[in-house]
Chains A and B, each alone.
Chain A
Amino acid sequence: MTTQTERPPKFTCRDVSVFYGEFRALHNINMDIADRSVTALIGPSGCGKSTLLRVFNRMNDTIPDARVSGRVEMQGANIYAPEVDPVLLRTRVGMVFQKPTPFPRSIFENVAYGPRLHGLTRGRGELNALVEKSLRRAGLWDEVKDRLSMPGPGLSVGQQQRLVLARALAIDPDVILMDEPASSLDPIATARLEALIDELKERYCIIIVTHSMAQAARISDKTAFLHKGELIEYGQTDRIFTNPTDTRTQDYITGRFG
Chain B
Amino acid sequence: MSGLDLDFDLGITPTAAVRMRKRHAAERRFRTYGRAAVMFAIAALVWLLVAIIVTGASAFTQHWVTIDLTVEAKSQSVPNDRLRLAKGLALAFDVPSDDETRAELLDIVSASAATAQLNARNGDDEITLTIPASNIIDQYLKGHIDTDLPADQRKISDRQIQWVERLQAEGRIKRRFNSALFANPDSRDPERAGLASAIIGSALIVLIASALALPVGVGAAIYLDSFAPRTGWGGRLTRVLEVNINNLAAVPSIVFGLLGLAVFINFFGLQRSIPLVGGLVLALRMFPTIVIASRSALLAVPDSLTDSALSLGASRMQAVFNHRVPLAAPGILTGSIIGMAQALGATAPLLMIGMVAFVTSMPASPMDPATALPVQIYLWSGSADAAWAERTSAAIISLLVILMLINGLAIFLRERLQRRRKL
Residues of A within 8 A of B (CB): 21, 57, 59, 62, 64-65, 87-88, 90-91, 94-95, 97, 99, 101, 103-106, 113-114, 117-118, 149-151, 164, 167-168, 171
Complexed CA–CA distance, A168 and B313 (Å): 10
Which of B231, B312, B318, B327 has most chain A Cβ within 10 Å?
A: B312
Complexed CA–CA distance, A151 and B230 (Å): 34
CB < 8 Å neighbour of B327 from A88, A104, A149: A104
Residues of A contacting B423 in the complex (Cβ-Cβ under 8 angstroms): 104-106, 149-151
Pick the 9 closest A-B CB pairs, nearest first.
A64-B230, A91-B313, A95-B311, A101-B304, A151-B423, A114-B312, A90-B313, A101-B308, A65-B231
Contact assessment for B311 and A59 in the assembled complex, using a CB-CB cutoff below 8 Å: yes
Contact assessment for B307 and A97 in the assembled complex, using a CB-CB cutoff below 8 Å: yes
- Tell me how far the C-beta of B68 lies from the nearest C-beta in chain A, rounded to whole angstroms: 72
Residues of A contacting B231 in the complex (Cβ-Cβ under 8 angstroms): 21, 64-65
Complexed CA–CA distance, A195 and B304 (Å): 26
Contact assessment for A113 and B309 in the assembled complex, using a CB-CB cutoff below 8 Å: yes
Minimal Cβ-Cβ distance residue in A for B323: A103
Contact assessment for B313 and A164 in the assembled complex, using a CB-CB cutoff below 8 Å: no
Residues of A contacting B229 in the complex (Cβ-Cβ under 8 angstroms): 64
Which of B302, B421, B422, B423 has most chain A Cβ within 10 Å?
A: B423
Contact assessment for B311 and A90 in the assembled complex, using a CB-CB cutoff below 8 Å: yes
Minimal Cβ-Cβ distance residue in A for B303: A62
Can you pick out 16 interface pairs between chain A and chain B where the beta carbons lie within 8 Å of each other? A57-B311, A59-B311, A62-B316, A65-B231, A87-B315, A90-B310, A94-B311, A97-B307, A99-B304, A101-B308, A104-B423, A113-B309, A114-B313, A149-B423, A151-B422, A168-B311
Contact assessment for A168 and B312 in the assembled complex, using a CB-CB cutoff below 8 Å: yes
Contact assessment for B313 and A117 in the assembled complex, using a CB-CB cutoff below 8 Å: yes
**CB-CB contacts below 8 Å: B381-423 with A:** 421-423
Complexed CA–CA distance, A151 and B162 (Å): 76
Residues of B contacting A164 in the complex (Cβ-Cβ under 8 angstroms): 308
Residues of B contacting A114 in the complex (Cβ-Cβ under 8 angstroms): 312-313
Complexed CA–CA distance, A94 and B307 (Å): 12
User: B314 at the A/B interface (Cβ < 8 Å)?
Assistant: yes
Contact assessment for A118 and B230 in the assembled complex, using a CB-CB cutoff below 8 Å: no
User: B305 at the A/B interface (Cβ < 8 Å)?
Assistant: yes
- Tell me how far the C-beta of B2 lies from the nearest C-beta in chain A, rounded to whole angstroms: 42
CB < 8 Å neighbour of A171 from B313, B316, B318: B313
Complexed CA–CA distance, A2 and B230 (Å): 48
User: B235 at the A/B interface (Cβ < 8 Å)?
Assistant: yes
- Tell me how far the C-beta of B412 lies from the nearest C-beta in chain A, rounded to whole angstroms: 20
- Tell me how far the C-beta of B108 lies from the nearest C-beta in chain A, rounded to whole angstroms: 68
Residues of B contacting A117 in the complex (Cβ-Cβ under 8 angstroms): 312-314, 318
Proximity bits, B216-229, A CB within 8 Å = 1, else 0: 00000000000001
Residues of B contacting A105 in the complex (Cβ-Cβ under 8 angstroms): 423
Residues of A contacting B302 in the complex (Cβ-Cβ under 8 angstroms): 101
Residues of A contacting B421 in the complex (Cβ-Cβ under 8 angstroms): 104
Residues of A contacting B308 in the complex (Cβ-Cβ under 8 angstroms): 97, 101, 103, 164, 167
- Tell me how far the C-beta of B325 lies from the nearest C-beta in chain A, rounded to whole angstroms: 13
Contact assessment for B305 and A103 in the assembled complex, using a CB-CB cutoff below 8 Å: yes
Minimal Cβ-Cβ distance residue in A for B228: A64
CB < 8 Å neighbour of B307 from A101, A104, A118, A168: A101
Complexed CA–CA distance, A30 and B323 (Å): 37
CB < 8 Å neighbour of A59 from B305, B307, B316: B307
Q: A103-B308, A114-B313, A117-B312 are in contact. List 9 more A-B contacts (CB 8 A).
A: A57-B311, A64-B229, A64-B235, A99-B304, A103-B305, A103-B309, A104-B423, A113-B312, A113-B322
Contact assessment for B312 and A94 in the assembled complex, using a CB-CB cutoff below 8 Å: yes
Residues of A contacting B327 in the complex (Cβ-Cβ under 8 angstroms): 104
Contact assessment for B310 and A62 in the assembled complex, using a CB-CB cutoff below 8 Å: yes
Contact assessment for B312 and A101 in the assembled complex, using a CB-CB cutoff below 8 Å: no
**CB-CB contacts below 8 Å: B290-338 with A:** 302, 304-305, 307-316, 318, 322-323, 327
Residues of A contacting B315 in the complex (Cβ-Cβ under 8 angstroms): 87
Minimal Cβ-Cβ distance residue in A for B235: A64
Proximity bits, B30-43, A CB within 8 Å = 1, else 0: 00000000000000
Residues of A contacting B312 in the complex (Cβ-Cβ under 8 angstroms): 90-91, 94, 113-114, 117, 167-168, 171
Minimal Cβ-Cβ distance residue in A for B229: A64
Which of A87, A91, A149 has most chain B Cβ within 10 Å?
A: A87
Complexed CA–CA distance, A105 and B322 (Å): 11
- Tell me how far the C-beta of A208 lies from the nearest C-beta in chain B, rounded to whole angstroms: 15
Residues of B contacting A151 in the complex (Cβ-Cβ under 8 angstroms): 422-423
Residues of B contacting A62 in the complex (Cβ-Cβ under 8 angstroms): 307, 310, 316
Complexed CA–CA distance, A167 and B304 (Å): 15
Complexed CA–CA distance, A21 and B315 (Å): 24
Minimal Cβ-Cβ distance residue in B for A61: B310
Complexed CA–CA distance, A90 and B315 (Å): 10
Complexed CA–CA distance, A149 and B308 (Å): 20
Residues of B contacting A168 in the complex (Cβ-Cβ under 8 angstroms): 311-312
**CB-CB contacts below 8 Å: B207-253 with A:** 229-231, 235
Residues of B contacting A57 in the complex (Cβ-Cβ under 8 angstroms): 311
Complexed CA–CA distance, A87 and B308 (Å): 12
Minimal Cβ-Cβ distance residue in B for A109: B423
Complexed CA–CA distance, A53 and B423 (Å): 34
Proximity bits, B195-216, A CB within 8 Å = 1, else 0: 0000000000000000000000
